[in-house]
Amino acid sequence: MGGIILRLLVNRGHKFNLPIFAASPHKGVSPLVGKLVPVAQVMGVRPLLEMAPESQFLKSLGTPPPGIYIGGREDILVPLHSAIPVNNGVIVECGHSMFPNEFEKMASSAIPVVVEAVFKEVYKNDRDRRDSSQR
């Protein structure tokens, strides 16, 4: 749900160079998790209700902001169409745990995507600083 919090911050005017959304339920959680909604209603678990597909909360977020959207092909909690609500996202070969602890699983996780994006952003900012100092 960190990506949903990031969207709230963007909607409230906070500026980010390059938001990265990994396995965020922009269009709601999977039907598997959705089966828990009646239980959540009885128990008053509001965050789960707000992550249900077509919830008023998710609709209130509006259009997804520019950024990098990452979805896991094997994610059973957040389907690809929800994790990547835009036309240009990145699909990785992992489940909902996009940042695994096991070294062997890192190559097929979100880690290489995030590292590349951060590297490009740092390089771009460094190049921009050098260009502006030469003027």
Q: Count Cβ atoms below 10 Å from residue 5 Cβ, excluding itself.
A: 10
pTM (two decimals): 0.79
Query: Tokens 């990547």 sit at which residue?
Result: 84
pLDDT in tens, 32-49: 776 777 777 787 777 777
Of 17-21, 24-28, 32-36, minimum mean pLDDT range: 32-36
Give 83-124 pLDDT, tens digit per residue.
999 988 999 988 888 887 788 788 888 889 888 888 887 787
Spatial strand order in the sheet of 20-22: 20-22, 68-72, 90-92
The terminus-to-terminus CA distance of the chain in angstroms comes to 43
